[in-house]
Amino acid sequence: MNEREIRQMVGEILIIGFDGLDVPSDVEKMIQEHGVGNVILFQRNIASASQLGNLTQTLQNAAMKAEHVAPLIICTDQENGTVGRLGSIVPGLPGNMALGATGSVDLAYRIGQETGRLLMSLGVNTNLAPVMDVNNNPENPVIGVRSFGDQPHRVALLSTAMFQGLQDTGVIACGKHFPGHGDTAVDSHRGLPVISHPRQRLEALEWVPFVHAIANGIDTLMTAHVVFPGIESDLNRPATLSSSVLTDLLRNELGFSGVMMTDCLEMDAIAKIVGVGRGAVEAVMAGADMVLVSHRRDRQMEAIEALVQAVLDQELSLNRLREAYQRVLSLKKRRLAWETRPIHHSEVFSPHQISETRRLQEDASRQAVTVLRMAPDFPKVPGQIQRVAVLHEATGPQWVASGPQDRRRLLADAVLLQLPEAEVDDLSYPGAWYLEDRDQLFSRLSQYDLILSGIDGIQNQPYVDLVHDLFSLSVPHAVILLRLPYDAIAFKEAPTLLAVYENTPWMVGAALRVLLGKSKGLGRLPVWVSDNCPRGFSAMSQPTHDKNPKNLEVQ
């Protein structure tokens, strides 16, 4: 086999990303001259439905012009909730932990199905979702509410329903991050996490959702940049680079026959340990079928050249590269077709269809809001609320996986939608208002009819202390946990406390409807927070009813 043919196979197993709303000339060159067969899109690439539709079509046209044997895989991370690349061009849908709070397999399937419909209409044929990690570590800085919860069998049921909903629309689904990223205290974007549990524990907990997904026909799985000493003896070798994990365990023992792709090799867990080029070679040698390099062109070329050279030097066997290449092509031929074109936007984004998506959004959000405590002065009568003080902490950490977010007026805007006649003061912390004399500040805040405090992390102790101090006022005060339900442990004295699992307008709006008596908080905690807030807890104590469209069971 000559070098040109080797390069063609290498291009077909590489996934690249780029900046901008249009296809750069160097990306077209990589598709046409280097045979790159796959693209990942982020928020930086998306401005509107028509723009995205044109972008994906331009990409496919470039591949067709280059006479690729199959269409490009065009993928994105539309996990919903806190991680969603489509932004505001489509109605948002609740993410995994919110769905975990509903306990509804039916909702998980429907949201997977609707997400797939929206993606396909825009020319995005692959979703790097769902997250199948079991989040059993409250300190986890990268998974958290991206997980369905901390019970492996519940995560298995909901994640399988989600990917089946996606795949039933024709979208390629990708479960992540094998063999589990839920019990880490290090973000693999910024370091190399280690999960030291013995194999028996991993088999009983971390692997359960993935085993269930394999049995139910998931298309692809994504590797975790996490070291597992219980499987891999080299403590500097994450799962992504480990043949013990990818070949011996996932392929041979668990019987996965689909496509294995890596998480992005530019994450520090790979880039700063072995480098992107070397990481690409070691990942494919270990058993990966696709390698993801999301950002820098120089690193993408580094991966291509490293893989080609490794084959020429006979370090990476030609058979291993050919196996990966053929597995990717087999998936494409089964799922994708050149004849497929995005559905006309006027149909997908018609008032009727948008209304249907919003109905699903509202239904799922209503079922997810979890009331952890409700004071007797709630719910409030909307007509009696004239002035609302909204507190939020503006300097909290943002998750790398979520991308850039503007959270400044999230709560205030949601209040204005529910109470359009009210005067709403958005009090960002830190702010000049906080520098007032304490008595003067309390006197000022006591004039409001309602105080809402948003909590998106509890690292800022002065802000947490301020919220606690305000409980002494006679003004009705509700604390809304905007992301992690684990933050409830810092607000044991809050008279009214709600968990919404994500800082999104639809979930905050659902919480406000509960506070105003327009809806009931039906959700239950999908994770264990404390003895006072155990898994399954709700102050409203409604029973839950699962609807199971696929008759899913976990053995």
**3-state DSSP assignment of residue 194:** strand
- Find the helix or strand (DSSP H, E) in which 21 lies: none
CA atoms within 13 A on the CB side of 119: 33
The catalytic residue among 177, 181, 189, 212 is 189
Do 368 and 101 meet the contact criterion of CB atoms below 8 Å apart?
Answer: yes
Phi-psi region of 78 (alpha: psi -120 to 50; beta: other; left: phi over 0): beta
The span from the CA of 19 to the CA of 24, in Å, is 8
- Told to judge if 268 belongs to the known catalytic residues of this protein, a careful annotator would answer no
At 311, give phi and psi (nearest 5°): -70, -45
Q: Is the peptide bond before 179 cis (omega within 30 degrees of 0)?
A: yes
The long-range contacts involving 27-34, CB below 8 angstroms and separated by at least 24 positions, are 27/59, 27/62, 28/62, 30/300, 31/59, 31/62, 31/63, 31/66, 31/68, 31/72, 32/62, 32/65, 32/66, 33/66, 34/7, 34/10, 34/304
Q: DSSP readout, 23-91? A: --HHHHHHHHHS---EEEE-GGG-S-HHHHHHHHHHHHHHHHHTT-SSPPEEEE-EEETTEETTGGGS-
Residue with the two structure tokens 């995205």: 52
Q: DSSP state, 543?
A: -
Pairing of strands 497-499, 370-373: antiparallel
- Told to judge if 263 belongs to the known catalytic residues of this protein, a careful annotator would answer yes
Do 39 and 15 meet the contact criterion of CB atoms below 8 Å apart?
Answer: yes
The catalytic residue among 263, 289, 426, 456 is 263
Q: Which residues are catalytic?
A: 189, 263
